[in-house]
Structure 1
Amino acid sequence: MPRATKALTDTAIKALKPTDKRYLVTDTGGLVLEVMTSGSKVWRYRYTLHGKRQPLLTIGAYPDIPLIDARAKRDEWSKLVARGESPKRFVAAGKEEKRNTVATFAESWLSEQLEGKSRQYQTMLRRVMDKDVLPWLGGMPLVEVTPSDVLGMCDRIKARGSPQMALQSRNVLKRMFDYAIARQMVTANPAAAVVARFVATQSSRDRVLSPQEIGEVMRAVYTSDMRRALKLALHLLILTMVRKTELTETRWSEFDLSEGVWDIPSERMKKERPHRVYLSRQAIAILTELKALSCQSEWVFPTTRGSSDTPISSSTLNQAVRAMGMDIQHFVLHDFRRTASTHLHEMGYPSDAIEKALAHKIVGIKGVYNKAEYSEQRKTIMQAWADFVQAQIDGAQVIPLFSAA
């Protein structure tokens, strides 16, 4: 009659001493403990598959893996063996999962996501991944990312005063994990478990500055200690109704000040269609001053760091506004476009011309047949909007618009 195997205890394990040769001590159910000549102790699993004895499979070192956890792993692998499956393959698959980090998976995901997309979308996605996601989560195995990890990333971004960027980063991660689920790389989406409204609200998407707030914002800009070129950039941003990067990355070659037009090439536009901006008298005056400030650079807004061969960063204007500490609730720079559209519609200007001025696509069947550019109406609209903004700035009569800063 075979001798019954005696189960190990922690006391018995601690009493095991090394010898000049390694030796095995049996627990139960195929679990064994190998005592090394150095005194270290390693859990192994002994099993037979399809009638053939298999090599010992390593569970891990004791006491890092305590007795109770080693038995749990033994039981998990025993169930695989009972189904005729190899626990060794299971271990190998787990190691492969750990090698597949967020950074390595993100690279393959990005290569597919970016193909055929606009340059602006590519820049946004790369910025989110490189600035916020990968420094925080990049080294983690994809399968080990938890909702708590995603929330920690969002909290870190919000701590620097960027709640909308935190929400955008969460949304990008959610799309990436949806893709990973579809590819059977993971079984759950940790970003989806982080409810969007707990990260940040989308209130800025509905934000329209009142006439009074327009004046408050622009007067605060001109009385701040930011450098003159940035003050003019913010003023130009509200007057021209363009997107932030369309302004910060512009070159002097895109302007014809004598004709009062700014032609933005298709590769710099969100919808990849060229866009003409009709310049108001105020915008031309600002650009004339900026020409003198740009130190013969090809860029309208050259960086002041290092070489002037590059434009300012897309985040420079945001940082300048945040540094002012204005008491304008939920305000972000993109609100300038929505603000302009709202007030121009309230003034009674034609919607199609306003949409063209904003470089928006006219949707529906109307957009299919309407190819008009509304040039004359847009010239009128842009001058009317500049005069409206000027009236709000002059409301408190704080400073002359183009005085030295």
Structure 2
Amino acid sequence: MPRQATPLTDTKIKALRPKLARFRVSDTGGLLLEVMPSGSKVWRYRYQLHSVRYPALTIGNYPEISLADARKQRDEWAALVARGESPRKAVAASKVEKLNTIQAFAAEWFREQISDKSDSYSRNVERVLNKDIFPKLGRVPLTELTPGDVMALCDHIKSRGSPKMALFSRNVLKRMYDFAIARQLATSNPAAALVARFIATEESRTRVLTPSEIGFVLRSIYASDIRRPLKLALHLLLITMVRKAELTEARWQEFNLEQGTWDVPAERMKKDLPHRVYLSAQAVELLQELQKLSGRSEFLFPSSRGSDDRPISKSTLNQAVRALSLDVQHFVLHDFRRTASTHLHEMGHSSDAIEKALAHKVSGIKGVYNRAEYAEQRKQILQAWADFVQAQVAGANVTPLLKRA
């Protein structure tokens, strides 16, 4: 006669210590507690149906699931077995019901498939889910989403000037539905029906601010109640023609205000090459004020959160602009660089010098053999651009306006 298992108690469970390999201890009626090398303890239920032994079903972790709750779940599944029904199918049906909506399933998908990916990727996915997918599609049943729903979401995101984020959102849904199909919770992938190039391409952004829009944007920034350093940051971003992260993570040691130069290190540049910015008179004046505001921080724009000396986050300037609710259609901060390039070309400045000022690679034979860095032309370009921007703000010298803001 087989030996009967001795029922477990909380005292016995707490006394269990992990070993090099996982091991199981029995309660009664097929209930097991599996002790992992990590020390975690997992409830499982082992059963036979129609004389066939099936893999153990997982109930959950102890102590999150108590001994009494584990036994209750065991009894429910044992009743199904006694009726000749599969507890495994019951679990699958229950999971389908719980994960019926896009939001419910996406949370499970994120936990299982995305949470252990790189920090930057998982943050981007989480932001897309919370900002766009859940508000627009969260309550839609998982099996009822259509390609038209996905396209409407992408069009909504593109309408605020973010085509690449629209494409990323489509890719998140496509990957999520691939997982749903593998889990037999969906039979088709509505996001896969949308061709990526119809949503966005590398050249999707063509927005260029008009001269009047340049003046309106900068006047709105200085008239707002956002913090003074952020106003200066946005102004500098416009007139230095750099990328956002190149500015927000800048350190004072990179600047020589007397010579009017800023040397951005290679590790912060898109092409992994160091880049020199020739500072206009306006940029130097803004930086001199900023020095007084940044205190003892090594960063131009120290974070106001926490005690560590670190720069503001990459999203701070975007959030500041969004808070202004500017009446400028499809405008995003990266448009500043394209705007500068377009107007400088229209002024007749050297295309190669403009490309160098933007830290773009000069292509063709010039890029191979021309070692010139166009230093003098770049100085002239950046000063001409700062003067042009200043003229759009006030039609003359804007320093008094900015000083009062």
TM range (shorter): 0.5 to 0.7
Question: Which letter maps to 2:223?
Answer: T
Counterpart Cα distance in 1 of 2:328 and 2:159: 18
Give the 3-state SS of the residue equivalent to 1:298 in structure 2: coil
Question: Which residue number corresponds to residue 266 of structure 2?
Answer: 266
Counterpart Cα distance in 2 of 1:207 and 1:160: 12
Question: Which residue number corresponds to residue 231 of structure 1?
Answer: 231
Give the 3-state SS of the residue equivalent to 1:304 in structure 2: coil
Counterpart Cα distance in 1 of 2:370 and 2:362: 8
Once the two structures are TM-superposed, the CA of residue 322 in structure 1 deviates from its matched residue by 1.3
Once the two structures are TM-superposed, the CA of residue 245 in structure 1 deviates from its matched residue by 1.0
Question: Which residue number corresponds to residue 380 of structure 1?
Answer: 380
Question: Which residue number corresponds to residue 207 of structure 2?
Answer: 207
Once the two structures are TM-superposed, the CA of residue 403 in structure 1 deviates from its matched residue by 1.4
Judged with a 3 Å threshold, the aligned counterparts in structure 2 of structure 1 residues 266 and 42 are, in CA distance, closer, same or farther, namely farther
Question: Which residue number corresponds to residue 128 of structure 2?
Answer: 132
Contact 1:170/1:191 (<8 A) preserved: no
Question: Which residue number corresponds to residue 252 of structure 2?
Answer: 252
Counterpart Cα distance in 2 of 1:145 and 1:274: 50
Question: Which residue number corresponds to residue 48 of structure 1?
Answer: none
Counterpart Cα distance in 2 of 1:325 and 1:248: 22
Specify every segment of 5 or more residues in structure 2 that has no aligned partner in the other structure, as ranges: 1-47, 51-75, 96-107, 135-141, 180-185
Counterpart Cα distance in 1 of 2:92 and 2:122: 43
Question: Which letter maps to 1:324?
Answer: L
Give the 3-state SS of the residue equivalent to 1:263 in structure 2: strand
Q: TM-score, normalised by structure 2?
A: 0.62
Counterpart Cα distance in 2 of 1:60 and 1:179: 23
Question: Which residue number corresponds to residue 339 of structure 1?
Answer: 339
1:306-317 to 2 correspondences below 5 Å:
306-307=306-307, 309-317=309-317
Deviations 1:266-308 (A, max 9, x none): 1101111111100000000000000000011111011122225
Counterpart Cα distance in 1 of 2:370 and 2:189: 43
Contact 1:147/1:194 (<8 A) preserved: no
Q: Give percent identity, aligned residues only.
A: 52
Judged with a 3 Å threshold, the aligned counterparts in structure 2 of structure 1 residues 298 and 134 are, in CA distance, closer, same or farther, namely same
Deviations 1:176-214 (A, max 9, x none): 68999xxxxx99765433466997899971111111111
Deviations 1:30-65 (A, max 9, x none): xxxxx9874787655xxxxxxxxxxx9964489979
Specify every segment of 5 or more residues in structure 1 that has no aligned partner in the other structure, as ranges: 1-21, 25-34, 45-55, 66-99, 112-121, 138-143, 181-185
Question: Which residue number corresponds to residue 301 of structure 2?
Answer: 301
Question: Which residue number corresponds to residue 170 of structure 1?
Answer: 169
Counterpart Cα distance in 1 of 2:253 and 2:395: 35
Question: Which residue number corresponds to residue 94 of structure 1?
Answer: none
Question: Which letter maps to 2:207?
Answer: R
Counterpart Cα distance in 2 of 1:341 and 1:316: 25
Q: TM-score, normalised by structure 1?
A: 0.62
Once the two structures are TM-superposed, the CA of residue 334 in structure 1 deviates from its matched residue by 0.6
Counterpart Cα distance in 1 of 2:322 and 2:92: 53
Give the 3-state SS of the residue equivalent to 2:321 in structure 1: helix
Once the two structures are TM-superposed, the CA of residue 358 in structure 1 deviates from its matched residue by 0.2
Superposed CA RMSD in Å reads 4.7
Give the 3-state SS of the residue equivalent to 1:402 in structure 2: helix
Counterpart Cα distance in 2 of 1:374 and 1:397: 28
Counterpart Cα distance in 2 of 1:285 and 1:274: 24
Counterpart Cα distance in 2 of 1:352 and 1:159: 31
Contact 1:167/1:196 (<8 A) preserved: no
Once the two structures are TM-superposed, the CA of residue 226 in structure 1 deviates from its matched residue by 1.1
Counterpart Cα distance in 2 of 1:269 and 1:193: 36
Give the 3-state SS of the residue equivalent to 1:277 in structure 2: strand
Question: Which residue number corresponds to residue 4 of structure 2?
Answer: none
